[in-house]
Amino acid sequence: MLDYDILLMLPGPTNVSSDVLLSMSKPIINHRSIDFQELYLGIINKLQKILSTKNAVIPLTASGTGGIEAALSSFFEAGEKIAIIRNGVFSERAGKIAERKKLNVAYLDVKLGRGPKINDVKAFLESHTDLSAIYVVYNETSTGVTTRNLPKILELAKKKGLITVVDAISIVGGDYLYVDKWKIDICIGGSQKALAAPPVLSFVSISEEAIEKAKQVKPNTLYLDLTDYLKWYKERCETPATPAIPLFYALNAALEKVLKEGLEPRIKRHELAAKAFYNSIEKAGLDIFPEEEFRSNTVIAVKAPDTINNQEIIKELYTNYRVAIAGGMGQLKHKLFRIGSMGDIRKDFIIRTLTGFFDILNKKGFNIDIKAAIQMVDDVFIV
Ligand SMILES: Cc1ncc(COP(=O)(O)O)c(C=O)c1O
C-alpha cells in the first residue's frame, strides 16, 4: 500500500498513505448539504476522541498558523495581557501574531532545548497578576522539545483563573494529549504531522469557558472568527465559508485510520520509533539537541557537528537516498538536523533514513559503525 519514492521524514508534512490520498478523488459535494454535514460531523467526532474532549473541535481550511491566528483573534482583544512560554521559533511566532493583534504579551523565556521549570512558571505567574491567558507550545518543532510538564503548567494556570491555549500541532496523534483532563481551553492541532493527513487543515478545540470569554470580546478577524464557526456548527453543522472538501475527505480518512489503530498503540509506536532514533544516533556518536527529559517522540533534533554543512548533508540525503529531512530554524538553522518521526512512522523508514544519513556522514570523513548503530534500531523493535 505504501510505496514512497521520496520518503518524507520532515517535521511535517509527513507521508500520506495512498488510501488517504485516494479519498480525495471522490466527487466534490455541496457544502450546504446533508452529505457535507455528515462529513463535517464525522471529522469533529473523531477529533473529539483523539483530543479526549467533549468540547467542540472546529476544523479550519487553514494551515496550523491559521489555527493559531484564529485562536488569538477570536478570544482575545487589543490590550489584553497574555503569557507565552517562549522556547523556540513556533512560540516566538505565536508571540508575533499576538503582538500584531495588539495583545500585550509577557514572555517567559526558556533556554532552547528544554521546556520550562515548573518553579519558574509558578514565579512568573505570581509576578504577573493581570494575565488573562497562558499560551504553551506542547511540542516545539524547531528544537524537538516536548513540554513534558504541560499538565502541571496548566494546573497552575487554571488555579490563577487563566484561559489555557496549547499549540499541539506537531504532537496530536503521536503522544498523550488530554484536552478535558488537562483543562486546555483552546487547543490547536494540524493535519500534516502525526495524523498523517495532507497539509493545510488545522483544528481548534474550544471549552465552555473560552466560549463565555469570547462573549466579552470583539473578534478582530472575520474569516477566522471561531465564534462564527461555532455558531454555524451548532446551528447547521456547516462552515461559514467554503471548506476544502477534498482535504476534509482526506482528514476524515486519516482520522479513521488513527482510531482504527487505537490511540494507545499509536502513541507506543511513536515512542518506540523515537527511542530507536535516539539510541541509534547516540551510538553513532552524534549528540541529541534537547535535554533528555524534554525529548520529543515526534521530532528528533540532532546537533550538526561543527565540521559539516548541515544543508549539504540534507541535500545529499535527498538526492542520493530520496529521504527528506530538515535543518534547524531561526538561530539554529545551521546547527541542527530535524527528523520527523511521526504519522505512519515505522521501522524500515527509520533504517532507510539513518543508513543514508550515516553513510553520507562517513563519506565526509566520519567513522560511524553503521552496522552497530542500525542494530540499535533493531534492538528497540525486538521487544
Ligand atoms: C508547533 C508548530 N506550531 C505551528 C506550526 C505552523 O503550522 P503551519 O506550517 O501548518 O502553518 C508548526 C508547523 O511546523 C508547528 O510545528
**Percent of the chain at pLDDT above 90?**
97
Task: With a cut of 70, say whether residue 1 has pLDDT above it.
Answer: no
In testing the pocket of ligand 1, which one of 90, 92, 188 has its CB within 8 Å of the most ligand atoms? 90
| pLDDT tens digits, 24-58 | 999 999 999 999 999 999 999 999 999 999 999 99
Distance from the alpha carbon of residue 194 to the mean position of ligand 1, in angstroms: 12
Ramachandran category for residue 245: left, alpha or beta (phi over 0 → left; psi -120 to 50 → alpha): alpha
Atom of ligand 1 lying closest to residue 138 CA: 1
Q: Whose CA is nearest to atom 9 of ligand 1?
A: 64
Atom of ligand 1 lying closest to residue 11 CA: 14
Question: 157: which residues sit within 8 A by CB, 6+ positions away?
Answer: 125, 134, 164
Beta bridge partners of 339: 300
| pLDDT tens digits, 56-111 | 999 999 999 999 999 999 999 999 999 999 999 999 999 999 999 999 999 999 99
DSSP letters spanning 97-134: HHHHTT-EEEEEE--TTS---HHHHHHHHHH-TT--EE
N-term to C-term CA, the chain: 26
Question: pLDDT at position 382, please?
Answer: 83
Domain architecture of the chain: domains with CATH: 18-260 (3.40.640.10), 262-382 (3.90.1150.10)
Instruction: Please tell me the distance from the alpha carbon of residue 116 to that of residue 179, in angstroms, as a whole number.
Output: 20
| pLDDT tens digits, 239-260 | 999 999 999 999 999 999 999 9
CB 201 within 8 A of CB 75: no
Collapse the DSSP code of 62 into the 3-class scheme (helix H, G, I; strand E, B; otherwise coil) and give the result: coil
If you search the block for the grid coordinates 496550523, which residue do you land on? 64
Ligand 1 pocket, residue 169 CB under 6 Å: yes
Instruction: Please tell me the distance from the alpha carbon of residue 110 to that of residue 140, in angstroms, as a whole number.
Output: 12
